[in-house]
Amino acid sequence: MRRVTFVIYPGYSAMALAAVAVFETANAVQGKAEYDFRFMSEKGGAVSTSSGLPLKCEPLSQERGDTLIVGGASFEKPLSPGLIAFIRSAPRKYRRIASICTGAFVLGEAGLLDGRRVTTHWLHARDLQARFPKAQVDEDRIFINDGQVWTSAGMSAGIDLALALIENDLGADAAKSVARKLVLYHRRGGGQSQFSNLLELAPKTDRIQAALAYARENLHKPLGVPDLADAAHLSPRQFSRAFRAETGQSPAKAIENLRIEVARDLMEQSRHPIEAIARQTGFTDGDHMRRAFLRAFGQPPQVLRRQARNELAD
């Protein structure tokens, strides 16, 4: 059985505890206790989380465990020297150390980010880099695995991180079964951007939103302006003008970005051949998709797939 220990401190975000449900579901899916849990704070007892909900904890212990997870908080008060010393010693007692959202700052204070590639919520990424210049902070990743240390973006990304840890332990099929039981669309890959193209476009009217929803569900089709305009119940001229006014992009550029986003996700999450993914996401062929990836990421699809698999295997 793998012991997962959560380090709790005042103001700890209750949302970070969503990762517990992911491991708990893995136990149910596997039909046996693959994981057990401990919640520890410096002195033990009830600790108030960010929502005011008290969480009963054990005192920090020198016992060994499998995975140590530190979630984020508001950091209105400095962390205690005792807690930082405990985190600093964690690599000697735990196989993996992970942070969720601004929990990366706790790992940084303990010196665990030095020389590593890491991430956190994009709002705090530049502050993390400034405070811990020996770390290499990537502000546009869902999660990153660098050796013994795993870091994730905002609180919901802790769910993706937990699924990735389960995949690392039990395999891809187990992680997919857990995601399915949690009614998740899929596990987002670590290399996926924290920014969704649909969210970034931020259309203001229902008609343009309907067109984008139609596009997202029909990426395998050509999706010219007449198709999108029909979904929005506008003339092609009206649609093009309204689309650019609301999103700041041309329809063609927005659709290519959506194709790239979904194709990258499929490259990381599946073993489908590049040509099959290209057809599924509406690129004319694998070479067309390759050129789009080079424009967007500066790397071809095969390299991004290899990086995602290497990160998960570390």
Catalytic residue numbers read: 101
Nearest to 144 by CA among 95, 96, 190: 190
CB 167 within 8 A of CB 147: no
Question: At a CB cut-off of 8 Å and minimum separation 6, what does 37 contact?
Answer: 3, 4, 5, 6, 20, 23, 24
